[in-house]
Amino acid sequence: MSTLTLPGTTAGTGAAAPRPFALARHSTALAHRGLLKIRRTPEALIDVTLQPVIFLTVFVYVFGGAIAGGDRHAYLQYLLPGVLAQTIAFGSAAIGANLNTDIEKGVFDRFRSLPIPRAAPLVGAVLADVVRYAVVAVVTVGFGSAIGFRFGGSAPAAVAGCLLAIAFALCLSWVSVTIGMLVRSSGAVQGITLLVMFPLSFGSSVFTDPATLPGWLQGFVRVNPLTQLVDTMRALFGGTPVGAHLGWTLLSMAVLLVVFVPLALAAYRRKA
Amino acid sequence: MTTPAIEATGLVKRFGATTALDGVDLSAASGTVLGVLGPNGAGKTTAVRILSTLLRPDAGSARVGGLDVVTDARAVRRRIGLTGQYASVDEDLTGTQNLVLIGSLLDLSRRDARTRAAELLEWFDLSDAASRPAKTYSGGMRRRLDLAASLVGRPSVIYLDEPTTGLDPAKREEMWDVVRRLVTDGSTVLLTTQYLEEADALADEVSVIDAGRVIAHDTPTGLKRVVGGQRLTVRPADDADLADVDAVLRGVAGSAGSAQAVVTSPQRGVLSVPVTSDDALARTVTELAARGVAVTELSLHLPSLDEVFFTLTSARSGGAPALPSPPSSPAPTRPVEPALEASR
């Protein structure tokens, strides 16, 4: 222990004066924390790195022949945007579990005793996940290209498709965050989130043309926001018009935010 | 100072059917250390969490620097530093990263945050470990980093929730040193502890709490006057000598003018008595030797929390704790619960 007096802890000086845009600034600082953690433990990215590779391989080479009547190449063009969206949906399960652990460990007590907006730790964590989703996009497109996927549209349209998927993931994250705030153990968070994501990703146009499904299931597939997202991405990747799909996707993103952000914050206040 | 730095009145907090706080009053003048002494589950942490705006009280109110912890929570947070019972640092981040993060959340510029982190790390002797992840730190280092984190914003009121629990004696002394320096610099410290020794070493005033209530508030000196400054504990080599030891202890404690020479048996085969005179130890040794009693343990120490509680709760239940300790049937180790119930 140094024998110097404590540097500048003159009581009463307090922290710096409050500045505007606190939520944006503090969320960014906390997102930076998330990035530092990813750099420290890159293995946390293994799910989003390997999953698209496994799903592309399994669906193109195992089921692809049967689903697409032998034309695996054509099926890959259909499948890739779907796998991208599906991996993102599953990847969002981690955030709720991580936040749950953070709260259990007491790290959030420190944040909550600081003069920052209550929502900042949650928003920061969601923002840091952009890195995970960017990894998904790069890996999926990279591996897909290696086995024969080709963009049919313009480069900006392809980039827009990936960005839309990432933006959608940020909205969908709030479902996982809400579950993370409501459930007691982080293991349960992961389980429940996957339980939600399963019907969402398989009951959609991710793997097959919904026209082949029974009528009652088609109804669910049509209102499934993931279907709208995947159809929009297919249009952007394939160079065809997006039609109404983009509108529905943006609307479902807005609905996710409007419903789950307040729910997550309310549950956070109660839990903490 | 007219406004106390910390002032809580009638704090009540329930968790379901459990009442964690049942009307707690606490007060600390600016620039002093308030010790909150109590066993596990007494409500110490709940009180700290309310005073640091993490929990809302169900009833009662609390002010920090004159600001209400519920209605002025944001302003209160600018003035406080919290060091929890378990170190709440981010284990994946390095020491520097942990402190810089707090700095940027406190709206320091990146450069100021780095400077502040470096000076705190140096002050807490963590400079060498500054770029290592906190998960590689020892328990004592983690505590220091946690305390450093709570000091980034130069708080005027600092809460230390059992800061030395689980630390070895040398590290405990270091932590005490830090607390003393914080106060020298003008901060007000609220310190919870399970050790009377710690409260005695650091606190200007002590509130003893048990089962969600303050059962005593005094200076350490005043408290010791009530519970007996020091205790003399003897363990004879042979249990058959307990009667002799009992007699010796009664003689030593009684002749020192203490009103009640209460010999208790904190453990099987051990007798203990509060003593006030300086020569008590020497006289005990002489008299035991005269009676030919061999001992395996003989010590002079501050009362343990159990003993403090026993004395305080007995006093509250009215009258002398009529618990003669015939060597054949030692008094129960923790006669706290029944005594407390009687006091309600």
Task: Name the β-bridge partners of B189.
Answer: B33, B158
B2 pLDDT tier (thresholds 50, 70, 90)? low
Q: Residue A229 above 90 pLDDT?
A: yes
Tell me the residues of chain A between 25 and 54 that have a Cβ less than 8 Å away from chain B. 25-26, 29-30, 32-33, 36-37, 40-41
Cβ B82–A8 below 8 Å, yes or no? no
What pLDDT sits at residue B249? 87
Within-domain flag for A5 = no
- Measured CA to CA, the distance from residue A270 to residue B147 in angstroms comes to 27
Note the pLDDT tens digit of each residue in B107-129: 999 999 999 999 999 988 899 99
Number of domains in chain A: 1
A116 to chain B, any CB pair closer than 8 A? The answer is: yes
Q: Which residue is associated with the tokens 């692809």?
A: A64
What pTM was estimated for this model as a whole? 0.77
Q: What is the rounded average pLDDT of the residues A243-269?
A: 93
Question: Domains of chain B by range and CATH?
Answer: 6-224 (3.40.50.300), 228-343 (3.30.70.980)
Which residue among A8, A33, A113 places its CB closest to the CB of B53?
A113
Note the pLDDT tens digit of each residue in B201-221: 899 999 999 889 998 898 888
A18 pLDDT tier (thresholds 50, 70, 90)? low
Within-domain flag for A10 = no
Within-domain flag for A92 = yes
Q: Residue A152 above 60 pLDDT?
A: yes
Cβ A110–B93 below 8 Å, yes or no? no
Within-domain flag for A82 = yes
Q: Residue B317 above 60 pLDDT?
A: no
What pLDDT sits at residue A26? 93
Q: Which chain B residues touch A114 with a CB distance below 8 Å?
A: 77, 102, 105-106, 153
Token code pair at residue B159: 């809460």
B232 alpha carbon, distance to own chain's centre = 21
What pLDDT sits at residue A208? 84
Note the pLDDT tens digit of each residue in B62-98: 999 999 999 999 999 999 999 877 668 888 899 999 9
Task: Name the β-bridge partners of B216.
Answer: B208
Nearest residue in B to A24, CA atom: B105
- Distance between B2 CA and the closest CA of chain A, angstroms: 16
| 3-state SS track over chain B | CCCCCEEEEEEEEEECCEEEEEEEEEEECCCCEEEEECCCCCCHHHHHHHHCCCCCCCEEEEEECCEECCCCHHHHHCCEEEECCCCCCCCCCEHHHHHHHHHHHCCCCHHHHHHHHHHHHHHCCCHHHCCCEHHHCCHHHHHHHHHHHHHCCCCCEEEEECCCCCCCHHHHHHHHHHHHHHHHCCCEEEEEECCHHHHHHHCCEEEEEECCEEEEEECHHHHHHHHCCEEEEEEECCHHHHHHHHHHHHHHHHHCCCCCCCCECCCCCCEEEEECCCCHHHHHHHHHHHHCCCEEEEEEECCCHHHHHHHHHHHHCCCCCCCCCCCCCCCCCCCHHHHHHHHC
What pLDDT sits at residue A137? 93
Within-domain flag for A137 = yes
Within-domain flag for A7 = no
Note the pLDDT tens digit of each residue in B287-308: 899 988 889 988 888 777 677 7
Higher pLDDT among residues B310 and A149, named by residue: A149
Nearest residue in A to B50, CA atom: A113
What pLDDT sits at residue B252? 82
- Measured CA to CA, the distance from residue A203 to residue A184 in angstroms comes to 28
What pLDDT sits at residue A232? 94
Within-domain flag for A13 = no
Q: Which residue is associated with the tokens 């106390």?
A: B4
Range of the domain at A187: 22-271
